[in-house]
Amino acid sequence: MRTNDTIKINIIQTIVWLFLFFSISIVMEDQSWSQTVDFTTAQSRLLEGNLKLKALHQKTLQYKSRISQDSSLPDPKVKLGLNNVPVSKPSFNESDMTSKEIGIYQMFPFFGKLSAKERIAILEYKKAVAMYRFYQSYYLHAVRSHFFEIAYLKEYVKIIEETKKYLTILLEIQKSRSTAGIGMVSDVLKISVELSKLDEEIIKVNTAIAETESTIAYLLGDSNGEKKNYSADIDYTSITIHNQPNTDVSEKVLSENPEIQLLSLQIQMDEEWVNLKQKDLYPDVEIGVSYMQRDNTPQGAARDDMFSVMATFNIPAWFTSKNIPAIQEMNIKKGQSEAELNDKKNEITFALSTISINTEKWKQLHELYSTHVIPHLETMLQTDIAYYRTGTTEFMKLMDTIRMLLDYKKEQLNTIKEYCKAVSFLHFLQGDTSILNWSGVQ
């Protein structure tokens, strides 16, 4: 009996341990399946995991490796030859002119060509770095904007739920009035339709949130099998809208904008290309040294070996149809780059002006909505509900008040969202690749 009891106890303990093991595995799997990614973590993961940025980083390394290549001399040439071997009776010792030759030749570009090519390669590398920084700041702005959008949509859902509470109160009032015979059944149906419309709006908003989260997952380089919870909770009441940008920010944008830097580097490259094409008007030289060994005569007399030195020049004979047009082409390219730079500076200046105008607008609207429109509508709504209970307010007037309150609360949220996006866009214009937190969006 004791043996049987012992066996049963062991079986029960084994079952318990297996149950605990599988429970812990499921919990751990669920935790790894659904990870929370907040605002700052998403930006860090973007810089580490975005596939486009990885490709651009590799491209910078590629251009960096070209610097030493472009500044190096061409490979030397080695010559191996048999000279003046008789055709009728091939031999190395019958003719005095027969020799075995070994030589080496090195091309030397005209003075300044290699240094110009090196400077061009360095500028190409700097352009690749600037382009990498441009996309870093661009994708950071994109991720931040998507988080602002999610935060806005989640707050909007809360407003809809609050609006539904008002409609639920009206529905109960109208049902009581209909039961008492003093209300209209059609009003009950109208309220039900309005509630259905709000449910429809919530479905659309949740779909928009899911689509935005999917876009964030793509930007972060997350795989499709990884489920993430993108936490975009933000207290909009903690954000104060300020006029943007200030003078320091505007100056910093114009001096550090990646696109302006790219075009400035391109102009420097064009200047170097003009310089290089001008140097093509001068000949390159190839220096060669060879040693010719001759065998002794058939009678055993020694023959002297030979030593040769030679220089070969390329002559730009067709400079009028080749070199001069190439110089003109590079000068035209430089003029194009200068025009693009001026256009980009104007574009950014107008963008800064637009941000300034819009932030002033959002500041005024937010203040108007917060201190006047919304408080007045809330007071009006409470008054209308009280009057509606007594039947002294029309149903449609009450519905208009509820819709207006919903719209203005949505617009109030929208002013903060757009302001946050504008601040993020300013960081993008500066080429800022630092990680922002909520307090940095001020």
Torsional sign, CA 210, 211, 217, 219: negative
Residue, of 240 and 29, whose pLDDT is higher: 240
pLDDT digits (tens, 9 = 90+) for 189-198: 888 888 999 9
107 forms bridges with which residues in the sheet? 286
- pLDDT, residue 397, reads 84
Which has the minimum average pLDDT: 70-74, 109-113, 309-313, 394-398? 394-398
**Rounded to whole angstroms, how far apart are CA atoms 348 and 249?**
12
- pLDDT, residue 22, reads 53
Question: What mean pLDDT comes out for the span 386-398?
Answer: 79
Question: What mean pLDDT comes out for the span 8-27?
Answer: 55
- Of the candidates 167, 163, 177, which has an alpha carbon nearest to the alpha carbon of residue 390? 177
Question: What mean pLDDT comes out for the span 328-337?
Answer: 95
**Rounded to whole angstroms, how far apart are CA atoms 377 and 404?**
8
Q: Among 38-47, 93-102, 122-131, name the most confident range.
A: 122-131
Res 313 pLDDT > 50: yes
- pLDDT, residue 12, reads 62
- pLDDT, residue 379, reads 92
Res 434 pLDDT > 70: yes
Longest Cα pair distance anywhere in the chain, in angstroms?
Answer: 143
pLDDT digits (tens, 9 = 90+) for 101-141: 999 999 999 999 999 999 999 999 999 999 999 999 999 99
Question: What mean pLDDT comes out for the span 229-249?
Answer: 78
Q: Which two tokens stand for residue 21?
A: 């093991």
* pLDDT band, residue 296 (cuts 50/70/90): confident
- pLDDT, residue 63, reads 93
**Rounded to whole angstroms, how far apart are CA atoms 77 and 163?**
84
- pLDDT, residue 407, reads 93
Res 421 pLDDT > 50: yes
**Fold of the domain built from segment(s) 37-73+109-281+316-440:** Outer membrane efflux proteins (OEP) (1.20.1600)
pLDDT digits (tens, 9 = 90+) for 20-39: 555 544 444 444 445 788 88
pLDDT digits (tens, 9 = 90+) for 48-71: 989 999 999 999 999 999 999 988
* pLDDT band, residue 442 (cuts 50/70/90): low
